[in-house]
Structure 1
Amino acid sequence: MLQTLGGILREGQRAGRFHPANPLLIHAGIVAPLMLFLATASLRRKLGRGVPEITRDAVVTHIQRITLAVLEGRIA
C-alpha cells in the first residue's frame, strides 16, 4: 500500500501538483483520523447530545481536503 501511495505522490510531484511528502506520514494522516472516528462512535453519542452528528462522509471529505492542502503546499 505504501508503495502505491508513494507512486501516486511521485506522480503528483512530477506533474507539479504535489510537494515532496513522506508516504508513511501521509498514510498515517489519512488512516489515523478514520480509525479515531470509527473507534469513538459510542463516546460521541454520549458526549454529543445536542451537537449535530458528524457523518462518515463528512470525516472523509475533511481528510481529503486536509491531505490535498498539505500535498499542494497550501498548509504546512
Structure 2
Amino acid sequence: MARRTDDATGVHCRLDELLEERGMTLTELSRTVDITFANLSALKNDRGRAIRFSTLTAICAALDCEIGELLVLSD
C-alpha cells in the first residue's frame, strides 16, 4: 500500500483509511468529536501542521484506535 506523506514532517495521517475501515464519514467524525470539517480535512489530506493532544485523544476515542494507528512516520 502506497502511503501519502507530508514531506515537511515525514508524518502521514491515516484518517482516511481509518474512516473507511469503520464505515464512517468525515462529516460524522466532525460531529462526533466537535471539530470542524475543515480542520479534519486538513489532517486527512496531510496538510495539518499541528494537533492538540485533546483533539488527538477525541479522534482516537471516536475511531477506537491508538495514536500510532492514526499517525505514522513515512518510510
TM-score (norm 2): 0.29
Higher share of residues assigned strand: 2
Higher share of residues assigned helix: 1
TM-score (norm 1): 0.29
Structure number, greater radius of gyration = 1
